[in-house]
Amino acid sequence: MGQKLDKFIILGNLISHSEMNLDWNTMVAYLGFLDLDGDDNLHGMSVTGVDYGDNRRNYANNFSWGILDITDQYLTLYDGNEEAGAGLYVRELWVRR
């Protein structure tokens, strides 16, 4: 469960196979990937949301994030569940280099 000022800082990979979308609330939380020593900026992330298309209503109850910060990082996305296809809903994407 995440709230507006919650920050999730990941040093490695974010792996999830959860199907409990009603128990996941990070749609206004920050998710950032870090590299502390300058030689590990490659990360993986499981995507478990369902691709409902481009509509803000689809953020709720769908493993969405408020901010995804991959500044100076490389992120590979993986399908995190057994469903065909996946959707990653993010309100803001930070990618500056």
Residues in the chain: 97
Contact status, residue 35 vs residue 41, Cβ threshold 8 Å: yes
The pLDDT of residue 97 is above 70: no
Contact status, residue 21 vs residue 63, Cβ threshold 8 Å: yes
Q: Is the pTM of this model over 0.85?
A: yes
pLDDT in tens, 39-96: 889 999 999 999 999 888 888 999 999 999 999 999 999 999 877 788 999 999 999 7
Contact status, residue 48 vs residue 16, Cβ threshold 8 Å: yes
The pLDDT of residue 1 is above 80: no
- The CA distance from 60 to 73, in Å, is 27
